[in-house]
């Protein structure tokens, strides 16, 4: 298998800053002026070269400063994407000299007809509305608009399960439900930044009428779609023709039949969007007997990507189609049992935070899973806050976003409560052992994920009711609709089915966050948040030739009840602060230790100034506190005031370093 290249995408621009300390990191931001777009201006087509331009869709790029536009053309002509900030358009007309990014592509397979084109828009500026159109001079498509937002900080993305347009047998009804879910979701969340697919865009891989209905919603030209290959998409090339993806490894090992040139789609890909590393897998390739590399190839791919790019992000989110922890018709499928033994330990070892899945047309949210087992036996069904320990991963399966097909929840069996088993949850015997929440109401839903500095908030939200558009209900494909198997009236659109806040694991040390602004005058403030080991230093303040930030570590409790009354000490050091390829040394952090709660004969260590002016700061081990031989027995709490001084030459971005805390005693 070809390993993902470290230079597979344009190097990430500096980003707005967040510093943490584990303890920890610090972030800085550089504002980009202007827009630099790669590509060559396409030669204008002649009047005889007029082409029908269809299937236009906006996709994710390698990072938040990129988008990819893909479309179909009836003619094999040189085409491009014309792009300009919307503010530069005059009465809807693009300015003279507007940027044009040359498109590439090839002929479609016979069942699709025509040709496919795609172009990558790079160097986008943050907080900017852009207008674009595709085609060539004299033969442009309609104009569409998308908006970038801040390239750093909190954001929301939306996850959609199996539109599977055409599966109800009524294309129009399926399309209507899909369009309505997108409208409902984005009306409620207009600032959502990416739309993530759970796979199965269509019912039949190469049926273009189904693709036309899937691509019909205008929202797919306004918000970037992050595609996923489902089992109904994989059996043809239309998926790859319609949905070009960044950083894609199309090695044979990542195709179900091992042959990328065959009439099938495949490949794995990754991208980073605002501190989240997304890795998307072709879960249709799961066994070597079919010719591909099986699950082992995906495990190797995920491992390579995380090893090469995991340090560039704060969270890791995996996306693939076949849900390994789900509640309905596919819960006991033999292929999913294989994946359920092949994947979880690797995901735990790599520090994956969240896994998003489709395929089972029902909603579920797993318990915290570690190495294929429930990590915390005490975690309760439906628990609203989950504090993932080392290796804890939460798996979410999305219900139908279009209403074209629903699967009913199935019953546990006696096959076991770990690994590939489908036994009952001891805390809730009607559910599978791995699921904290299971839900099927035969109404359309979508999943909203809020990415915050120290938590992921995951919510399953109703986008429809039992009323139309809801193809499976309208066509009597299901016998009931609503909660409690139809015994309770349907809840309103926008109501929440399930909500959980995932608090990530911060290691054995402490993480500290600080926002470093650009070197410009202004007011900056900070807050302190000691929950879950995160310390927020707030926003650094410019002070001449450097930035200042201050805060406090979370107190460390030391208890010594030994009769020997031997001495002890607590020391700590900090490594380099990093944000991708940007760094600054840990010596810039200093501290003033203190005894927060006296006891046990504890005394505070010496004050260590920031190494910005001189010295090594906390880059070398420094004593936080100690007790001498013969000290009294008891408990003390040690703390420290932090002093961070950073040169104004440090670029904007989110930096993290680790504070290693060491306890010594004879």
7-11, 250-254, 358-362, 595-599: range with lowest mean pLDDT: 7-11
Q: How deeply is 529 buried, as exposed, middle or buried, from its count of CB atoms within 10 A (0-12, 13-18, 19+)?
A: middle
pLDDT of residue 10 exceeding 80, the answer is: no
Q: What strands lie across the sheet with 394-397, from one edge to the other?
A: 269-273, 276-280, 315-322, 354-358, 394-397, 363-366, 435-439
Is residue 141 situated within a structural domain? yes
Residues 411 and 493 in one domain: yes
pLDDT digits (tens, 9 = 90+) for 186-210: 999 999 999 999 999 999 999 999 9
End-to-end CA distance of the chain: give it in Å, rounded: 51
Give a yes or no: residue 324 inside a domain. yes
Query: Using 50, 70 and 90 to split pLDDT, how confident is the model at 516?
Result: low
- Is residue 479, in this structure, part of any structural domain at all? yes
Query: With 90 as the cut, is the pLDDT of residue 155 above it?
Result: yes
Does 133 share its domain with 167? no
The CATH code of the domain that includes 199 is 3.60.21.10
Residue 528 or residue 476, greater confidence:
476
Q: Is 36 a domain residue?
A: no
445 or 30, which is more confident: 445
619 three-state secondary structure: helix
- Reported as a single tens digit per residue, the pLDDT across 477-487 is 999 999 999 99
Pick the more confident residue, 544 or 120.
120
Both 105 and 217 in a single domain? no
> For residue 212, with 0-12 CB atoms within 10 Å meaning exposed, 13-18 middle and 19 or more buried, which class applies?
middle
For 40-98, what is each residue's pLDDT tens digit?
Answer: 233 333 434 589 999 999 999 999 999 999 999 999 999 999 999 999 999 999 999 89
Answer whether residue 386 shows pLDDT above 60: yes
| pLDDT value for 37 | 27
pTM beyond 0.85, yes or no? no
Residues 449 and 550 reside in one and the same domain: no
Residue 155's contacts (CB-CB under 8 Å, 6 or more residues apart) are: 149, 191, 192, 193, 273, 274, 450, 451
Taking all residues of the chain, what is their mean pLDDT, rounded to a whole number? 89
pLDDT at 343: 98
User: Beta strands 269-273 and 276-280: pairing type?
Assistant: antiparallel
Instruction: Report the distance separating Cα 198 and Cα 216, nearest Å.
Output: 18
Confidence at residue 287, expressed as pLDDT on a 0 to 100 scale: 94
Give the end of a domain, one of 152, 171, 193.
152
d(CA 502, CA 455): 5
Domain boundary among 102, 127, 152: 152
Q: What is the band of 657 on the pLDDT scale with cuts at 50, 70, 90?
A: confident
**For residue 217, what are the CA distances in angstroms to 179, 184, 211?**
5, 12, 11
pLDDT score for 8: 44
Are 64 and 190 in a shared domain? Answer: no
Q: Is 1 within a domain?
A: no
With a CB cutoff of 8 Å and minimum separation 6, the contacts of 420 are 337, 338, 340, 341
Instruction: Assess whether pLDDT exceeds 70 at residue 455.
Output: yes
Answer yes or no: do 575 and 650 share one domain.
yes
* Residue 522 pLDDT > 60: no
Give 329-337's long-range contacts (Cβ < 8 A, gap of 24+): 329/360, 329/361, 329/407, 329/408, 329/410, 330/359, 330/360, 330/407, 331/360, 331/410, 331/422, 331/432, 332/410, 332/413, 332/422, 335/286, 335/287, 337/420
When pLDDT is cut at 50, 70 and 90, the band that residue 414 belongs to is: very high
Boundaries of domain holding 408? 153-503
CATH code of the domain covering residue 579: 2.60.40
Question: Binning pLDDT at 50, 70 and 90, where does residue 519 land?
Answer: low
The strand pairing partners of 213, in sequence order, are none
Token digits for 287?
Answer: 């066994």
Number of structural domains (the chain) is 3
List the CATH number of the domain containing 95: 2.60.40.380
Same domain, 180 and 253: yes
pLDDT for res 34: 29
Rounded Cα–Cα distance for residues 50 and 52 (Å): 7
In a domain, 605, yes or no: yes
DSSP for 426-455, written as a single string: TTEEEEETTEEEEE--SS-EEEEEEE-SS-
The answer to whether residue 446 sits within a structural domain is yes
In a domain? residue 113: yes
DSSP state of 561: -
Q: Are residues 205 and 181 in the same domain?
A: yes
Are residues 304 and 187 both part of a single domain? yes
- What residue ranges in 86-143 does DSSP mark as E strands? 99-102, 104-107, 115-121, 129-136, 139-140
What is the structure's pLDDT at 532? Answer: 43
- Is 325 in the same domain as 406? yes
């Amino acid at each position: 298998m070809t390993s993902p290249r470290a230079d597979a995408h344009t190097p990430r621009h500096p980003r707005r800053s967040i510093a943490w300390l584990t303890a920890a990191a610090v972030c800085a931001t550089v504002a980009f002026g202007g827009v630099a777009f790669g590509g060559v201006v396409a030669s204008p087509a002649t009047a005889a070269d007029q082409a029908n331009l269809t299937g236009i869709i906006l996709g994710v790029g390698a990072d938040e400063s990129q988008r990819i536009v893909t479309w179909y053309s009836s003619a094999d002509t040189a085409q491009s994407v014309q792009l300009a900030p919307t503010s530069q358009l005059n009465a809807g007309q693009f300015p003279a000299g507007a940027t044009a990014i040359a498109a590439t592509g090839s002929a479609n397979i016979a069942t699709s007809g025509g040709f496919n084109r795609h172009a990558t828009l790079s160097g986008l500026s943050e907080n900017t509305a852009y207008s674009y159109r595709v085609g060539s001079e004299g033969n442009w498509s309609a104009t569409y608009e998308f908006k970038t937002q801040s390239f750093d900080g909190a954001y929301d993305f939306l996850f959609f399960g199996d539109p599977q347009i055409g599966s109800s047998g009524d294309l129009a009804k399926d399309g209507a439900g899909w369009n309505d879910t997108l409208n409902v979701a984005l009306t409620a969340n207009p600032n959502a930044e990416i739309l993530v697919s759970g796979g199965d865009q269509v019912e039949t891989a190469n049926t273009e009428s189904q693709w036309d209905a899937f691509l019909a919603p205008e929202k797919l030209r306004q918000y970037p779609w992050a595609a996923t290959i489902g089992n109904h998409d994989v059996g043809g090339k239309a998926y790859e023709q319609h949905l070009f993806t960044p950083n894609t490894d199309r090695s044979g090992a990542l195709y179900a039949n091992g042959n990328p040139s065959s009439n099938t789609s495949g490949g794995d890909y990754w991208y980073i969007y605002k501190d989240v590393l997304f890795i998307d897998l072709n879960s249709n390739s799961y066994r070597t007997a079919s010719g591909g590399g099986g699950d082992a190839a995906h495990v190797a791919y995920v491992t390579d990507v995380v090893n090469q790019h995991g340090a560039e992000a704060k969270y890791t989110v995996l996306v693939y189609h076949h849900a390994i922890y789900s509640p309905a018709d596919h819960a006991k499928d033999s292929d999913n049992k294989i994946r359920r033994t092949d994947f979880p330990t690797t995901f735990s070892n790599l520090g994956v935070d969240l896994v998003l899945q489709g395929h089972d047309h029902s909603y579920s949210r797993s318990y915290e899973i570690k190495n294929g087992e429930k990590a915390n036996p005490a975690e309760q069904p439906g628990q609203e806050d989950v504090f993932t320990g080392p290796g804890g991963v939460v798996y979410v399966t999305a219900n139908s976003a279009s209403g074209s097909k629903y699967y009913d929840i199935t019953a546990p069996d006696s096959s076991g409560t770990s690994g590939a088993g489908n036994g009952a949850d001891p805390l809730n015997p009607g559910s599978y052992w791995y699921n904290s929440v299971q839900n099927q109401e035969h109404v359309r839903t979508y999943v909203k994920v809020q990415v915050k500095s120290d938590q992921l908030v995951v919510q399953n939200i109703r986008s429809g009711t039992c009323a139309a558009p809801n193809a499976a209900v309208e066509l009597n494909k299901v016998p009931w609709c609503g909660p409690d198997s139809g015994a309770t009236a349907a809840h309103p659109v926008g109501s929440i089915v399930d909500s959980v806040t995932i608090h990530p694991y911060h290691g054995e040390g402490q993480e500290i966050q600080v926002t470093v602004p650009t070197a410009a005058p202004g007011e900056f403030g900070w807050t302190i948040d000691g929950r879950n080991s995160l310390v927020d230093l707030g926003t650094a303040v410019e002070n001449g030739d450097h930035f200042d930030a201050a805060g406090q570590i979370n107190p460390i409790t030391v208890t010594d009840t030994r009769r020997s009354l031997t001495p002890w000490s607590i020391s700590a050091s900090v490594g380099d602060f990093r944000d991708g390829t940007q760094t600054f040394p840990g010596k810039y952090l200093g501290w003033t230790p203190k005894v927060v709660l006296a006891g046990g004969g504890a005394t505070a260590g010496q004050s260590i100034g920031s190494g910005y002016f001189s010295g090594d700061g906390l880059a070398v081990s420094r004593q936080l506190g100690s007790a001498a031989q013969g000290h009294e027995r008891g408990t003390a709490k040690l703390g420290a005031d932090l002093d961070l001084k950073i040169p104004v030459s440090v670029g904007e971005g989110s930096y993290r370093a680790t504070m290693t805390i060491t306890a010594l005693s004879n």
